[in-house]
Amino acid sequence: MVRFGIVGFGLHAVRRLMPGFALAQRCSVTALSSREMDKARESAKKYKIPLAFDSTAELCQSNQVDAVLVTTPNALHFSDVLTAIQHNKPVLCEKPMAMNATECRQMVEAARSAGILLGVAHVFRFEDSTARLRERVAKGQIGRPIFARAEFSYLGKAHARTWLTNAAIAGGGPIGDVGVHCVDAMQYILQDQIVRVGARGMWDKESGGVEAAAVLALEFASGTLGSVMVSMRADYRTPIEFVGDEGSLRADDGLTVDRPISLEWRRPGKPLETEEVSNRLAYARQVDAFADAVEGKAPFPVPGEQGWQNQEILDAAFRSLKSARIEDVLRVA
């Protein structure tokens, strides 16, 4: 049983992580940290977590913590991950991995040098909907993929994560917050890589120093064309669709974990086929998979190198916002 310490215990831990750990089979939570000790103790008591700390370093020093899960605001990922590595703790970092690709490279190189496991929490890779879409595309059920489309919107005004519009903490708006989920899921499902990105953004008086919405135009290595639309100004929705020369696959809210998902398969001249799946175990599978990797049973499916590569896509998108040109995505080493 792998014992996790959660760094930055907040809204995400309450809404997603703790319910996931409750369903997990091979790990548990033994420690948490928060910037304020009173809040740390309060959360630990509420969720029956034995240890509470107000610093990442103290949590990492505990001999009752086998692995660290970093869930702090984006600007802190870099220092928190390096602290875990310095204390020889395997570390799973929430997305986006860092503020930019330079930080990601340094995180990966530090983990490599120390021989420490580093993973990135792209939870949608552990969903049944994502797995079934990947399987169907791989079987050729839509033929050669031509288009890929994903959208991720949520209402960001008065959001509990008050730092979302602070560029110094968030790094960007919905491109980094949820667009990274879309590009990772699309690459995983298609088993393909994004090589070029074009981006256009929208700002408003509430979005502060970051975009409120954006559209990304993507080119994959195989020639498939993609689009991602992200927004902090619309109701929660995560539709995803893949169109090939022999059919299409789509799902309304295909990335959500909150309710069953209906996958639709359309082929010319054939009746619509549907399949219902549930993503309720995604967070449990993610931490169990990392626990397996910690114990040497299997590689973690999303290593730090993938988080770094995804950040290169985000960086290209942000460059495109400024240049108004299509930008190449750098490949990680």
Q: Using one digit for the tens of pLDDT, what is the confidence trace for 175-229?
A: 999 999 999 999 999 999 999 999 999 999 988 889 999 999 999 999 999 999 9
- Mean pLDDT, the chain, rounded, equals 97
Q: What is the structure's pLDDT at 333?
A: 81
Output the pTM of the full model.
0.96
Q: What is the structure's pLDDT at 158?
A: 76
195 burial type by CB count under 10 A (0-12 exposed, 13-18 middle, 19+ buried): middle
Q: What is the structure's pLDDT at 137?
A: 98
pLDDT grade for 282, boundaries at 50, 70 and 90:
very high
Model pLDDT for residues 37-50, shown as the tens digit of each residue: 999 999 999 999 99
Q: Domains, the chain, ranges and CATH?
A: 2-123+284-301 (3.40.50.720), 127-279+312-328 (3.30.360.10)
Give the other-Cβ count within 10 Å of 200's Cβ. Answer: 14
Q: What is the structure's pLDDT at 241?
A: 98
Model pLDDT for residues 291-304, shown as the tens digit of each residue: 999 999 999 999 99
Q: What is the structure's pLDDT at 289?
A: 98
Give the other-Cβ count within 10 Å of 205's Cβ. Answer: 6
pLDDT grade for 160, boundaries at 50, 70 and 90:
confident
Q: How far, in Å, CA of 102 to CA of 124, rounded?
A: 25
At residue 292, φ and ψ (nearest 5 deg) are: -60, -40
Model pLDDT for residues 238-259, shown as the tens digit of each residue: 999 999 999 999 999 999 999 9
Q: Which 3 state secondary structure label does DSSP give 108?
A: helix
Model pLDDT for residues 75-123, shown as the tens digit of each residue: 999 999 999 999 999 999 999 999 999 999 999 999 999 999 999 999 9
pLDDT grade for 237, boundaries at 50, 70 and 90:
very high
Using N-to-C axis directions, what is the helix angle for 304-323 and 180-190, rounded to 10°?
120
SS3 content of the chain, % helix, strand, coil (to 5): 40, 30, 35
Q: What is the structure's pLDDT at 314?
A: 98
Q: What is the structure's pLDDT at 59?
A: 98
Q: Give 240's strand partners.
A: 150, 251
pLDDT of residue 324 exceeding 80: yes
